[in-house]
Every structure is written in structure tokens, then in C-alpha cells.
Amino acid sequence: MKLTSRSVSLVPIVSTVAAAALGATLVVTATANAATTLGAAAAQSGRYYGTAVAAGKLGDSTYVNILNTEFNMVTAENEMKWDATEPNRGQFTYSSGDRILNQAVSNGKRVRGHALLWHQQEPGWAQRMEGSDLRQAMLNHVTQVATHYRGKIYAWDVVNEAFADGGSGGRRDSNLQRTGNDWIEAAFRAARAADPAAKLCYNDYNTDGINAKSTGVYNMVRDFKSRGVPIDCVGFQAHLTNNAPSDMRANLQRFADLGVDVQITELDIAGANQANAYAAVTKACLAVTRCTGITVWGIRDTDSWRRGENPLLFTGSGAKKPAYNAVLDALNAGGPGPTTTTTTTTTSNDPGPGDCTASVSLNQWGEGFVATVKVTAGSSALRGWRVTTTLSNGTVTNSWGANRSGTSGTVNWTNVDYNGSVPAGQSTEFGFQGAGSGSGLNPTCAAS
């Protein structure tokens, strides 16, 4: 084993070459300097910062550079929707969605799946269907698509925009709704059966503050939780103009208090007060421990579905806007979530051909932690890997991107389908959340 030094951007408070005599591990306890990218700034509190991606733009180098530098979560803007994935009944096409997923995963990002069922962008054949025939077709769609992406998706928008605008607090009319009021829970059950590891979300717009529509969604989520319908998260799109709702934080918190994660899923903000409004949305999320991340709906203003309104964080030429700096500053200022101490521990076993190293980045707060483990191939490609971690005073409660055996003490991790192949010198990541202390994880890696 050789000693590897890390964290040049950190200002050490206590720097301990631990166990130098053991020749194994350098431990640096530090407070982070201000992070310089959105993803890194959000990660300081265990959150992600994501963007919608269009497959057709992956050949644009300005776009891809910003994507790879700034964001650590990706949503396909259109490519995983029903019309894109099942243009003819029973014929599935995943090439554009796969392209986005593979680009994200090979650059160490996670993916939100969007969206299994939505009354818009139904393929023509489904638009012409009703009743039990449609019910069968839509559940088959959920099953097939979630199965195709099984193990690869952090969270699925299982159902999108099913509630009506205005004061009714009720469901929107659609051919999906007319198959029976239980269509949403049927979709969530089908998604859970197809991909048990993905978090399952309900996603909607104009639900960002407390109003009749968001209360309708709230009542549905409360009902689902009370009856054991598998729902894990609620997405708030946040297509806004000038201001964030003043009660956005309170709204996110009331959903979180039902026992679901909350996420800002399609953020864009038009208007002259843009930078302040972006800061306000960021702070609202940071103030809610279960707000796990924020996704903006595109990269440059010219990439936006609201193109004329310039609602995003980068100009058409790729320059950072004042709104970008407002978001970065707010993320760096943190919130009462998991923010305060960052400890980075790296171990290396000096990889040769077929070997690998593992390093861990740990966000520890009072009662829990999030660990992100990076697996790096040596001088030849990996076909599979096995990582061992040690948890002396903590317990794993949730994990992604790896199979696990054990929850405390010696915990073994192996690759899942999509991240076992790692080209020489390249990396992939998995992560886990835990209760207690995550110190002393000391990951070791072996090819399998």
C-alpha cells in the first residue's frame, strides 16, 4: 500500500498523518473552502445539483463542458418519455435515453428518470386508447421502461402532472385518469416491482408553494404513505417568474414530514429578479433536510424550453450569469442540513494491471453521514470490482450504485450491471447514507 495525499483545496484545521507507521492512510479533517462548481457546492451538504440534458446537444462541446464541470445529476429532457421510448405499441426504443444515461454515468453523474407516465407526450397510439386496454398498455409501459433501466436510475418521476390547475385540488382529466382514480398507485406499484432500487417520485408544477393544487398532491402522498403505496419522493418543478413562493420552504417541509424526500426538479426562473429568486429557491431546499437536490431545466438560456425568457444560469454563449453566482454562494453558505464537516480519506493499493483503488468523500453531520466512494481502474480495464469498507460506529441505511452485503462492521460492495466495466485509469462512483459515524471507512478495492 502507498500513501496518497489529497484535498489540496481544503484548509486543514487538524491534519493528522494517521498510522504513518502502518503505511496505510492519510486522514485530513478540514473545512472546505468555497466550492467552485454547483455539483461540488451541493455535495458539501450531501445534495446534488443537476440539469436536464437533450441527447441532440451532446455533440456541442460548450454544452458538454459545462455539463461535465458543473452538474452531478442528469435528467433526460424528452428522451425517456413515453412517445420517445414506445413510439409503437410494444416496440421500445432506448437509444437516445441510453445515450444520455451512458454519458452521465461515464462521467460520474447519477440520473433522474423522467417520466414514466404523463398525459402529454403520449405516443399517438396511446392517445387514441381508453379504459382497460389503456390501463394494460400504460402499466406495461411502466414495467418495460423501468426494467430496461433497472439499477441505473436514482429516482423516477413515475407520474408527472396529474393534478388540475386552479382551486379544485383534484385530478386533471386525461385518458389516464379515466382508467380509474387508482391509476397513479398502480403505476407506482408496477415501477417498484420493476426497479426496487429506484426512488419513486410524483412530479408536478405550480405546487412549489402552499396552494390548493399542492395540497391535493399532499393529501394523495399522505394517503399513499398510510396505505403502503410505494412512494419515496415528490418533485417540485419550480418553473417560476421573478420570485420563489414565500412559503416554498414550508411547503417542502410539510411534504418531507410525511416521510418522503423532496427535490426541485425542473427549475428555471424568468424576470429581472432572477438572481435573488434563484438564491431563495436554493435556500428553501437547503433549509429542509430531506430536500436531496436541485435540477435546473437546461444549461444555457438558448437550451431552454422558455428560450425567449432567458431563465437559466448560463448565457447562450456559455458564460455564468449573476444567477449562477447567487446559487453557488447560497450552496456554499449551506443550511441546517448535513453541512459542517468534510473528512476525506483515501487509501490506495498501488494498482497494477487489473487492479483498482478506492477513495471516499464523506459528509458527516451530527447524527449521520453520506459517503461517496470513487473506484478507479489501474492500468487495465476492470470488468467488475469489489470494495470493502469498515464502519465501526455507524450503520448503512441507504445506498446506490453498488450491491451491498452487511450494514456495519466490514461492509462489502460489488458493482451493479452498469458500472462494473471501468476503462483503464477511469473512475466510477457509488454511495451510501448512514446513521452514526462514517469515520474510518478505509475503502480497499479489488478487481473481480
350, exposed or middle or buried, with CB in 10 Å at 0-12, 13-18, 19+? exposed
| SS3 category, 304 | coil
- 301 near ligand G3I, judged by CB under 6 A: no
Comparing CB distances to ligand G3I, the nearer of 117 and 129 is 117
Encoded amino acid at 263, one letter: Q
Q: Which of residues 121, 147, 344, 380 is near ligand G3I by CB under 6 A?
A: 121
| SS3 category, 119 | coil
* Minimum CB–partner distance for residue 279 and ligand G3I (Å): 23
Site for ligand G3I in 135-164 (CB under 6 A): 160
**86 an active-site residue?**
no
* Minimum CB–partner distance for residue 205 and ligand G3I (Å): 6
Site for ligand G3I in 204-233 (CB under 6 A): 205
Of the candidates 161, 185, 367, 429, the residue annotated as catalytic is 161
* Minimum CB–partner distance for residue 143 and ligand G3I (Å): 21
Of the candidates 77, 79, 185, 266, the residue annotated as catalytic is 266
The partner residues of 385 in beta bridges, in order of sequence, read 447
61, exposed or middle or buried, with CB in 10 Å at 0-12, 13-18, 19+? exposed
Q: Which of residues 57, 66, 77, 216 is near ligand G3I by CB under 6 A?
A: 77
- Say how far apart CA 241 and CA 250 lie, in whole Å: 19
Q: Which of residues 4, 31, 33, 120 is near ligand G3I by CB under 6 A?
A: 120
- Say how far apart CA 373 and CA 395 lie, in whole Å: 16
- 305 near ligand G3I, judged by CB under 6 A: yes
* Minimum CB–partner distance for residue 152 and ligand G3I (Å): 20
Comparing CB distances to ligand G3I, the nearer of 293 and 337 is 293
Taking a C-beta distance cutoff of 8 angstroms, is the pair 298, 77 a contact?
yes
Comparing CB distances to ligand G3I, the nearer of 314 and 432 is 314
- 78 near ligand G3I, judged by CB under 6 A: yes
* Minimum CB–partner distance for residue 266 and ligand G3I (Å): 5
Comparing CB distances to ligand G3I, the nearer of 134 and 312 is 312
Q: Phi and psi of 393, rounded to 5°? A: -130, 30
The partner residues of 31 in beta bridges, in order of sequence, read 11
The partner residues of 431 in beta bridges, in order of sequence, read 372, 400
Q: Cell numbers 402499466 label which residue?
A: 139
Half-sphere exposure of 285 (CA within 13 A, CB side): 33
What are all long-range contacts of 405-413, with beta carbons under 8 Å and residues at least 24 apart? Answer: 412/386, 412/387, 412/388, 413/373, 413/386, 413/387, 413/388, 413/389
DSSP 47: -
| SS3 category, 325 | helix
Comparing CB distances to ligand G3I, the nearer of 41 and 53 is 53
Give whole-number Cα distances, 192 to 86, 219, 415, 424, in Å: 20, 21, 21, 35
* Minimum CB–partner distance for residue 305 and ligand G3I (Å): 4
* Minimum CB–partner distance for residue 161 and ligand G3I (Å): 6
- 237 near ligand G3I, judged by CB under 6 A: yes
Comparing CB distances to ligand G3I, the nearer of 69 and 120 is 120
Comparing CB distances to ligand G3I, the nearer of 75 and 359 is 75
Residue nearest to ligand G3I (CB): 305
**266 an active-site residue?**
yes
Encoded amino acid at 137, one letter: A
- Which residues fall within 8 angstroms of residue 168, CB to CB, at 6 or more apart? 212, 216
- 62 near ligand G3I, judged by CB under 6 A: no
Taking a C-beta distance cutoff of 8 angstroms, is the pair 156, 233 a contact?
no
Task: Give the number of residues in contact with ligand G3I, rule: CB under 6 A.
Answer: 9
- Which residues fall within 8 angstroms of residue 342, CB to CB, at 6 or more apart? 10, 30, 31, 32, 44, 361, 362, 363, 364
Site for ligand G3I in 261-280 (CB under 6 A): 266
* Minimum CB–partner distance for residue 56 and ligand G3I (Å): 7
- 419 near ligand G3I, judged by CB under 6 A: no
Catalytic residue IDs: 161, 266
Contact footprint for ligand G3I (CB under 6 A): 77-78, 120-121, 160, 205, 237, 266, 305
